[in-house]
Structure 1
Amino acid sequence: MQLLQKFKRGNKKSQPKGHANYAYTTARVRAMKSKILPKETYPRLMNMSIDEITRFIEESEYKQDVDELARQYEGVDLIEHALNKNLAVTFTKLLSISEGDVNFLVGEQLKKYDIWSIKTILRGKYCNASTEEILDAIVAAGRLSYTFLSDLASKATYEEVISELANTEYYPILKNYDGTNLSDIENQLDKMYYAGLFGAIEESKSKDRKLFAEFTRMGIDLKNLITLFRLKRSGITDPEMMDLMIDGGLKLKRKDIEKMITLSLADFVSELEKSPYWDVIADVADPEMVSLIGVESQLKKHRLKSAASFSHVYPISIVPIMDYMLSKKNEVNNLRIIIRGKAANLDDETIKEQLVI
C-alpha cells in the first residue's frame, strides 16, 4: 500500500482541458462497436480451415491492415500482425475522436499498452532478441507512437532505452533497472499504472469518474483472482507474494487477499465460496481439477457482461467507451486463439475452452 501511495504522490496529473463531448464520442463508439463480430461467428470459424479463416479475416474489418502488411508477412504471422495493427489503430482513433475528460480517461486506460511495450523492449534486450523480434510483440495502442517505440527497440542496450525515456513518467522506476531485476521493475510499472488510474479517479467526484472507478476496481479484483489461482496451482503460499497483488479492488479487499494468499489450493477455493465472485467461477474451480484457462475465461466473460450491462444503464458516459475497448480486445484475442490453435493442430475443444464468447 505504501508503494501505491508513493506512486500517487509522484504521479500527479493536471486536470484535462477542454469540453468532454460524451454524446459525440459515444455515438462514434456505438458505430464502431456495431462492427464487432457477433458471437455466432466463432462457431463458424471453428469449422473453417486455416485458409478459410485467413480469407474471412482478409475480407473483414481487418482488410486494410492485412493488405498493408502482406509484403512483410504471410500466413498466420500476417494475420497476427494485422490483428495487432488494427487494435493499435482502433485505440489510437479513440484518442483522436475524444477530448477533455474522456480523452484523459481513455489515455490513462491505454497506458497499459505503453507499459507493455516498454516491458517488451526491456525483455528483448535482456534476451538479446533482434529488433524485428521485439517489434513483433509491440502493440502501439497508447500514447507512445510506433515510430518512437521502433526507435527504442533499435537501441543496442537497455541503458540507451532507459535514457530515451528520461523525460517520461516511467523514468523514476526505469532508472533503477540494473539489467538483473527486470521482474521487480515490471511489477513496479504495473503498480504505477493502477496508481495512475486511481489518481485520475480521485481528481474529480463526477459521475463519469465514479463509473470509471468501479470499472477499474472490478478489473483489479479479477486480475488479483487470476494471480491467486496461478500461485495456488503452483503450491505457493508465501505471504511475501502480496507484493504481486494490486490494492484497491471493488469487492476483494486487502485483508481478504492477505488471508487467501497463505492458503493451499483446496482451502483457497473453499474460502472463495464466500466471495462475491464464486457464482462466476464455481463450475471451473474444483480444486481437484481446477482449470486456469477456464477460470480466466469465466472471469473475462463476467467482465464483458458487466461492462455491457453498465453501458446500457449509462449510455452517454465513459462506460460505453470502456465496454467497446474490452469487446475489441476480446475479439482480437479470440481470433488469435483460433488461428494459432488451428496452426498448432490443437483439437477444437482445447481451442473453444480458451475463447471468451
Structure 2
Amino acid sequence: MAKQNKKAYNPLSLFASVLTFKPLVYGYANARTRAMKGELLKKSQVLDLLGAKTQSGIIEMLSHSPYKDSILALSLRFKNEELIELSLGQNFASNAQKLLRIAPLQSRPALLAFMERYDILNIKTILLSKRIGKKGEEMAHFTIGAGSLSFTDLKTMWELPDALSVLNYLRFCEIGQKLFATQSFAKAKASVSSTSSDSYEILFHMLDSYYYSAATAAITGSDRDSALLRSIILSEADAKNTLTTLRCKGAGMTTAQILSHLVTFGNLQKGFFESLANEKDLPSAISTARTKFGLSQKNASLSSLETELESKLASTSLHALSFSMMSVGAIAGYLFLKEEEMNNIRKISRGKALGLSNEQITQMLVFA
C-alpha cells in the first residue's frame, strides 16, 4: 500500500497567518479609531455655531468641545478667526498623527500616500500667497500640518520671499523629491516665473497629477477596502476635472486649452470632459454636469455645483467606508469625517467674518 505524502508542518506558516489575521492586526487601531469618531461633533453641534454672534462666541462654544486644548494653548498669542483657524489645524494634525501611530505597519504606506493630499493643499496655499503678495503671518493659519511636511517646513516656506524659493526648498523635502522625480522642475520654475494669468494652473495641475498617481499606486491591495479607497480618490479626480472644465470654459478657454488642464486620472473618460467643454454656453455645461452626477437642476451656479459635488462625494465615500472594519478603510473614513468637520467650522467662521447670513453659510456646509 502506497504511503500518503503528508505535508510537513511549518510553524512559520502559522506565525504568518497570525500576523495577517485582520482582527489581530487591526483590532487595536479599529477600537481607537471608533473612540476618536465618538469625539467628532454632531451635526446639531456644528449648526449651533451659527447662533454665535461673534468670533468670540464661536471660540467659547468650541472651548467646550474636543478643540478646547488647542484653543487654550493658542489663545494667549492669537484671537478671533486666526485662533479658530489655528486651533482647527492643530487639532486635525494631532489626530492625523495619532492615526499614523496606531495604524498597523502594513497599512501605513497607503495611509501616508492618502495624507499627501494635505501636503499638496499646503503647497498650493503657500504658492498662492506668494503670488498675491501676502505675508507668511497673514496666511500661515490656512495650512494643515497633517502630511509629510513638518510645522518647521511649513513655517520656513511661509517666510521665504517668493514662489521660486519655495520650489527650491521643496526639492530637499521628501514630498518634493518624489514630486520632481515624476514632474519637471524646469516646467514648475517656468510656471511661477511667468506673468501669464493661468501660469499657476499649470503648476497646480502638476501637483494634482502627482498626488492622484502616487495615492492610487500606493494602495496596492486587491481587497474590497483597497479598491474602495482607489475608487474614492478617482472620484475626487472626476469632480476636480469637472469643476476645472467648467471654470476654464467660463474663462473663455478653447476645448484644447481646457483639456490640457485636466489630470489624467479618474473614472470618467476624456470624451465626457470634451463634450462638456463643447457645450454652447456655461449654463448648459453646468446642466450636463449636474445630470452626469445625479444632481437636481434647481441651481445653475457653479458655486452651488461645487458645494453639492463636495457633499455628494463626501456622503457617498463615508457611506461606503462606514462598512469598513478591521482595515485601512476604517481609518481613512475617520479622516474624511474629521476633514469635513474642520471645513464646516471654517466656513462658519469665515462666513460670519464676511457678514454672510446663516442661510448663506448653511448652503456651503457639507454633512455626510
Pairwise TM-score range, normalised by the shorter structure: 0.7 to 0.9
| Cα deviations by residue, 1:143-176 (Å, 9 ceiling, x for unpaired) | 1111122223333454543333334212344732
Gaps in structure 2 of 5+ consecutive residues = 1-18
| Cα deviations by residue, 1:160-203 (Å, 9 ceiling, x for unpaired) | 433333342123447321422433222211111111122224x4
Corresponding position of 2:307:
297
Corresponding position of 1:99:
104
Of 234, 244, 247, which residue of structure 1 is paired with 2:264?
Answer: 247
SS class of match (1:282): coil
Cα distance in 1 between the residues matched to 2:161 and 2:356: 38
Q: TM-score of the superposition, structure 1-length normalised?
A: 0.83
What aligned pairs does 1:185-200 form with structure 2 within 5 A after superposition? 185-200=203-218
Cα distance in 1 between the residues matched to 2:39 and 2:297: 32
Corresponding position of 1:282:
296
SS class of match (2:85): helix
Cα distance in 1 between the residues matched to 2:30 and 2:231: 19
What aligned pairs does 1:147-166 form with structure 2 within 5 A after superposition? 147-166=152-171
Corresponding position of 2:32:
28
Cα distance in 2 between the residues matched to 1:354 and 1:62: 22
Kindly, what percent of the aligned residue pairs are identical?
A: 27
Alpha-carbon RMSD across the aligned residues, in angstroms, is 2.5
Corresponding position of 2:77:
72
| Cα deviations by residue, 1:234-262 (Å, 9 ceiling, x for unpaired) | 55553321122223323x22221222122
Cα distance in 2 between the residues matched to 1:151 and 1:218: 33
Q: CA deviation at 1:348?
A: 1.7
Corresponding position of 2:345:
335
Of 233, 257, 263, which residue of structure 2 is paired with 1:216?
Answer: 233
Q: CA deviation at 1:309?
A: 2.0
SS class of match (2:57): helix
Q: TM-score of the superposition, structure 2-length normalised?
A: 0.81
Cα distance in 1 between the residues matched to 2:305 and 2:290: 14
Q: Is the 8 A contact 1:26 1:315 kept in 2?
A: yes
Q: Which has the larger radius of gyration?
A: 2
Quick one: which amino acid aligns to residue 209 of structure 1? S
Cα distance in 2 between the residues matched to 1:157 and 1:343: 28
Give the direction of change, closer, same or farther, for the CA distance of 1:215–1:159 in structure 2 (3 Å limit).
closer
SS class of match (2:322): helix
Corresponding position of 1:321:
331
Between 115-124 and 90-99, the greater mean CA deviation after superposition = 115-124
Q: Is the 8 A contact 2:37 2:334 kept in 1?
A: yes
SS class of match (2:43): coil
What aligned pairs does 1:136-155 form with structure 2 within 5 A after superposition? 136-155=141-160
| Cα deviations by residue, 1:60-104 (Å, 9 ceiling, x for unpaired) | 111111111112211222112111221222222222221333211
| Cα deviations by residue, 1:239-292 (Å, 9 ceiling, x for unpaired) | 321122223323x222212221221224324544653x22xx21444xxxx133
Alignment of 1:182 with 2:200, yes or no, is yes
Cα distance in 2 between the residues matched to 1:346 and 1:183: 29
SS class of match (1:217): helix
Q: Is the 8 A contact 1:165 1:171 kept in 2?
A: no
Cα distance in 1 between the residues matched to 2:51 and 2:156: 41
Q: CA deviation at 1:134?
A: 4.5
Cα distance in 2 between the residues matched to 1:164 and 1:52: 40
Q: CA deviation at 1:128?
A: 4.2
Q: Is the 8 A contact 1:162 1:171 kept in 2?
A: no
Equivalenced residue count is 331
Q: Is the 8 A contact 1:284 1:291 kept in 2?
A: no
Cα distance in 1 between the residues matched to 2:310 and 2:90: 23
What aligned pairs does 1:62-141 form with structure 2 within 5 A after superposition? 62-141=67-146
